Structure 1
Amino acid sequence: MYQRVKAYIEKYHMLQNGDKVIVGISGGADSVCLLFMLLELKKEMDISIVAVHVHHGLREGSADADEAYVRELCERQQIRLIVCHEDVKAYAQQQKLTVEEAGRNIRRIRFEETLRACGGNKIALAHHQNDNAETLLWNLCRGCGLRGAGGIAPAEGDYIRPLLCLERREIEVYLADRGISYCIDETNLEDTYTRNRIRSQVIPYLEAEINPRAVQHMSDTMEQLRLLGEYVEHEVSVYARKCIDYERKSGKRVLVKKEEFMKTPEVMRSYMLHELLCRIAGRRKDIEQIHVKTLGELFDHQVGREISLPYSITAGRCYEGIELYRKETGSEEEPVGMSVRVFEKTSDMQAFPKKTYTKWFDYDIIKNTVKLRHKEPGDWIVIDRSGRKQKLKQYFINEKIPREDREKIWLVADGQEILWIVGYRQSQKYQVTEKTSRILEIEICGGKKDGREC
């Protein structure tokens, strides 16, 4: 098995003589196997190893035992070890992340800090083929393009993943044959997280009922898709130079020129728009195909139509095509933000979420631009299914809302028509019905009284 890992490292040019490798060691089977593979390679190559163990402040008792095991292992193998103690749960709450996401972020931060502090140039992680298969299935279920279908890259920047050529069971057999112990993270056995359910239910079913080599076949396919993705990215960059003006209005707005965009091969258009959104957002997480589709459909709307996209991105139809810009957030005057997404309605969906600060609207009947603002003269709202309208001022009077509080209430509006009096009432006109095909979800974040803390 070592020879396979060595050949995989050589294939992707992961390591060279003189490299200093930072290795993430949790104490689990995967990371322990990775450490022993690198120790074996160290006999043949001039590389040095520094181990990093991150104690997440979770799993009281067992996490301490994991740390003790890693300390003893590194001492026995004469490997320098750096241990980082973190409060992952507090970090997750502060950054508004899941505990899983927070843990990944903190590990990455500590690995990269150690890389700089120790003068390292590579960070080795213990992902294997089963991790890659989970990633593929998870991405496909959420909706993804070529990049997501390509799974985890073997080498990317400073990061290398030497075990991506192995299945999980091969790793366990390797350790068992050599009498090497490892820790078991009991949270991996729980079905709380989607990834755990894919790991414990979906993949075993595929291997047992469809094909015992399902994981290997998925890994081979992902490798082909990664190569195809690299080619597509190159072609997209060529067409993007013709279609996209990043310098429009001193860089504050980006223009996608319709005439040039329509000359682009259709297969390239969605990739171009996805890359554009990721570039403006400064990240890839939560930029999904439905956002790309909604942005592309804007070309068919009238001039002046605007849509809201993740990370405070606004896209508007203009005479030359589509303009995009990212709204500045965090000012004292605008403490409340509006998170928006559009998605297809399916037959098994509930009518709407029962959350005070998250509402669903029938996207198909919204004709103009939806904005978050305070009250203006002439505002009105539809209050029943017959379409009866009521002036906003009269609604406030009927609800006995004090005059001084009315100026502070946030409104989701289309012109003078109010879709939602945040914290109070939603317009009956835009309710999701059996005829709805696309849903606009709006979540209000940031305020302490008339907007949800988030």
Structure 2
Amino acid sequence: MHLEFQQYIEKEKLFSPTDKIILAVSGGVDSMVMMELFRQLNLDFVVAHCNFRLRGHESDADEIFMRDYCGENAIELFVNHFDTLEYAKLEGISIEMAARELRYNWFNELIESLQYDLLATAHHQDDLVETMLINLSRGTGIRGLSGIQPKTGKIIRPLLFANRIQIMNFASSAQISFREDSSNEELVYQRNLIRHKIIPLFEEINPAFRKNLNRTASILRETESIYQQKIEEEIDRIIVDNNDSYKISIDLLSESKSKNTVLFELLHPKGFNNDQVREIIQSLDGEAGKTFFSKTHRLVKDRKFLLLTRIEETSANRFYIEEDCLSIENPISLSFEHFEKKLDFRFSTSRQIAEFDADLLKFPLIIKKWDQGEYFQPLGMEGFKKISDFFVDEKISIPQKENTWILYSGSKVVWIIGKRMDNRFKITENTQKVFRIIYNQ
């Protein structure tokens, strides 16, 4: 395996012998094998270990194992602790996604602070198969179907030449210590469900399923390079690049036989999704002025061009309100009151004042700008409505949209500040405590 490892690095041009590399090591068999192979080649590396605090004593035992192993072998180790459950709750995302975001954010910080060249992860062929199936289930383009790439930016994956059986056999023959992760057997995680249930069903149909899918991924990677070259030619043909903005010719885009694909490849890196791209295509023959948003960009349909511009970074900021906070001045001026609901309580009719059932709120509350595709339940309605549709119905202009702040409890909208409250947090006859917010506009 040592020789195959070296040959794969050379074949894929993953790094040079002088590169300094951070290894992401969990303590599991895959990453421990990767670290051992780096040691055998006498490469310049340090180790980064994440404690996500998801498995109690097991997570702490993994950290202790890594500290002992690296200490005994004179390997420099960096450890970070994460409150993964809290982060997932605040961001309104899955635990898997939260762990991914947390670790890669930290890895990027480490690369920059240590001035290292690359980060190596221990993904292998079985991970590639699982990723292809996950992407297929979500709906993806050719890039997603080609699975995990050997190198993406500063991230390298030097074990993609090997499968799990080869890795286990090498660990056994080289007597490599490692930790078992009990969560790998839990079917609640999407990847584990695919690993333990779906792939075995495919292997009943064809025992060579994993091998064939890896071969397909290799073919698709070559196909993608050809595809990408053609896409770039089409993009160059239809856009006029003005620094941080684009003018996309509607006439030239409409002439393209692959306009949906070309526009998706152009806009997806800017945060737009498939549904938005379809809406934009449908708007090409419509009136000027229709606007579409991603988290980072705004696209306006003009008479002859689609105008794509970056949204100011300040609009992506988020601000937290603790339960004992009395007022804030940034990003907007708000005052807060807590009090018991009395029999003579009367709702305020002012749009500048919002009153909620305090027991339904989860602190800290969050204030940030709205995201495209978000829904809320307007006060007095049983159904949900897109925030973007609410803005249209209220005839709110583009500058007003960009200056509108939203209050959230976890991932749920509480109040489109100064405009409409959410029905899920309203005061009822059962309410005992009231949380009042005054918008000092």
Q: How far off is 1:360 after superposition? A: 6.5
| SS at structure 1 position matched to 2:373 | strand
> Are the structure 2 counterparts of residues 230 and 341 from structure 1 closer, same or farther at C-alpha, using a change threshold of 3 Å?
farther
Q: Read off the aligned partner of 1:258 and give its amino acid letter.
A: I
Q: Read off the aligned partner of 1:86 and give its amino acid letter.
A: F
1:98 is aligned, of 75, 94, 98, to: 94
Aligned to 2:30: 30
Aligned to 1:241: 236
Aligned-partner Cα distance in 1 for 2:207–2:273: 31
Aligned-partner Cα distance in 1 for 2:80–2:369: 35
Question: What are the residue-to-residue correspondences of 1:142-161 with 2, within 5 Å?
Answer: 142-161=138-157
Matched-pair contact (CA < 8 Å) for 1:57–1:87: yes
Q: How far off is 1:338 after superposition? A: 5.7
Q: Read off the aligned partner of 2:6 and give its amino acid letter.
A: K
Aligned to 2:68: 72
Q: Read off the aligned partner of 1:178 and give its amino acid letter.
A: A
Q: For the aligned residues, what is the CA RMSD?
A: 3.5
Deviations 1:421-448 (A, max 9, x none): 9639xxxxxxxxxxxxxxxxxxxxxxx9
1:297 is aligned, of 239, 262, 282, to: 282
Q: How far off is 1:325 after superposition? A: 4.8
Q: Read off the aligned partner of 1:340 and give its amino acid letter.
A: G
Aligned to 1:372: 391
Deviations 1:204-241 (A, max 9, x none): 2212x122221222122122222222232232222212
| SS at structure 2 position matched to 1:165 | coil
> Are the structure 2 counterparts of residues 143 and 74 from structure 1 closer, same or farther at C-alpha, using a change threshold of 3 Å?
same
Matched-pair contact (CA < 8 Å) for 1:189–1:196: yes
1:277 is aligned, of 233, 243, 267, to: 267
Aligned to 2:249: 257
- The answer to whether 1:322 aligns with 2:341 is no
> Are the structure 2 counterparts of residues 271 and 77 from structure 1 closer, same or farther at C-alpha, using a change threshold of 3 Å?
farther
> Are the structure 2 counterparts of residues 255 and 359 from structure 1 closer, same or farther at C-alpha, using a change threshold of 3 Å?
farther
| SS at structure 2 position matched to 1:107 | helix
| SS at structure 1 position matched to 2:104 | helix
Matched-pair contact (CA < 8 Å) for 1:55–1:85: yes
Question: Which runs of 5 or more residues in structure 2 are unaligned?
Answer: 318-330, 334-366, 396-414, 425-434
Aligned to 1:439: none
Deviations 1:132-160 (A, max 9, x none): 11111111111111221121110122211
| SS at structure 1 position matched to 2:423 | coil
Matched-pair contact (CA < 8 Å) for 1:144–1:289: no
Matched-pair contact (CA < 8 Å) for 1:144–1:288: no
Aligned to 1:210: 205
Aligned-partner Cα distance in 1 for 2:53–2:180: 16
Aligned-partner Cα distance in 1 for 2:250–2:308: 13
Question: What are the residue-to-residue correspondences of 1:292-441 with 2, within 5 Å?
Answer: 292-299=277-284, 301-304=285-288, 306=290, 308=292, 310-311=294-295, 315-325=299-309, 329=315, 332=332, 337=370, 339-340=372-373, 359=384, 370-372=389-391, 408-410=418-420, 423=423
Matched-pair contact (CA < 8 Å) for 1:374–1:407: no
Aligned to 1:189: 185
Aligned-partner Cα distance in 1 for 2:394–2:154: 51
After alignment, is 233-242 or 48-57 more displaced? 233-242
Question: What are the residue-to-residue correspondences of 1:3-42 with 2, within 5 Å?
Answer: 3-42=3-42
| SS at structure 2 position matched to 1:51 | strand
Aligned to 1:429: none
Aligned-partner Cα distance in 2 for 1:406–1:23: 44
Aligned to 2:409: none
Matched-pair contact (CA < 8 Å) for 1:298–1:322: no
Matched-pair contact (CA < 8 Å) for 2:294–2:371: no
Aligned-partner Cα distance in 1 for 2:170–2:417: 68
Aligned to 1:83: 79
> Are the structure 2 counterparts of residues 406 and 260 from structure 1 closer, same or farther at C-alpha, using a change threshold of 3 Å?
closer
> Are the structure 2 counterparts of residues 162 and 357 from structure 1 closer, same or farther at C-alpha, using a change threshold of 3 Å?
farther
Identity in percent: 26
| SS at structure 2 position matched to 1:294 | helix
Aligned-partner Cα distance in 1 for 2:108–2:241: 31
Matched-pair contact (CA < 8 Å) for 1:291–1:341: no
Deviations 1:343-392 (A, max 9, x none): xxxxxxxxx9xxx897379xxxxxxx94516858xxxxxxxxxxxxxxxx
TM-score by length of 2: 0.70
Q: How far off is 1:28 after superposition? A: 0.6
Aligned-partner Cα distance in 2 for 1:18–1:323: 44
